[in-house]
Structure 1
Amino acid sequence: MSGALDVLQMKEEDVLKFLAAGTHLGGTNLDFQMEQYIHKRKSDGIYIINLKRTWEKLLLAAKAIVAIENPADVSVISSRSTGQRAVLKFAAATGATPMIAGRFTPGTFTNQIQAAFREPRLLVVTIPGLTTSPSERRLT
């Protein structure tokens, strides 16, 4: 990321926050699609996530979110209770629309007759492998 603004460069303070939160620790199973994000494997089998790659992907996500003119056009969803607090905090900080009220209603993004119909410009999904219903729907 040479040539980027200094404010966007990962600093020691950022690394310390990542380490304190434990975001560098993966699990003991490794999906082949995640191999490029792994730094190494500890002796106990836990994979260590490459924080530089994490930072790059966070910047990419931030650029995509900032590109949406109206923050309410960004919908954030989590079907798991562990992600719902993060959804609420993210929505409060950015003005995005949180979608956490229990079970996701099928047709929310596709059925215009439905009262809860939404047509977001961007859909942010926590734990996308586990929250499949909304992310499997095509948004045009």
Structure 2
Amino acid sequence: MAQPIIKLPDSFAKLLIATNSHLGGTDLSKPMSHYVFGKRNDKIKVFDIDKTWKKLILAARVFCGYSNPGSIT
């Protein structure tokens, strides 16, 4: 069954930007290139915030699916 889409709140997007969570390095692996929105003049990669949000939601759903999350090491 498909999970409902949780929209990215504007306040959270602003926090991601304020904490530079949307910035990567100058070199990325090929799988990570899918998440790159663009790059700055200094060659720092800029990640797509919407894709980051979707992966955070996926991780939260996986974590909440464990019956005993405290046992995860």
Does the TM-score normalized on the shorter chain lie above 0.5?
Answer: yes
Unaligned runs of at least 5 residues, structure 2:
none
Partner of 1:47: 45
Report the count of equivalent residues. 71
Residue 42 of structure 1 deviates from its aligned partner by: 1.1
Return the TM-score normalized by structure 1.
0.48
Partner of 2:7: 9
Alignment of 1:1-140 (within 5 A): 4=4, 8-75=6-73
> For residues 39-83 of structure 1, what are the alpha-carbon distances to aligned partners after superposition, in whole Å with 9 as ceiling and x for unaligned?
0011111100111111000111111100001122222xxxxxxxx
Q: Percent identity?
A: 28
Residues in 2 aligned to 1:48 and 1:9: alpha-carbon distance in whole angstroms: 20
Residue 20 of structure 1 deviates from its aligned partner by: 1.1
Secondary structure of the equivalent of 1:40? strand
Residues in 1 aligned to 2:10 and 2:25: alpha-carbon distance in whole angstroms: 24
Q: Could you say which structure has the larger radius of gyration?
A: 1
Higher relative contact order (CA 8 A, sep 6+): 2
| The structure with more helix, counted as a fraction of residues | 2
Q: List structure 1 segments (4+ residues) > 2 angstroms apart after TM superposition.
A: none
Residues in 2 aligned to 1:47 and 1:11: alpha-carbon distance in whole angstroms: 23
Residues in 2 aligned to 1:10 and 1:22: alpha-carbon distance in whole angstroms: 17
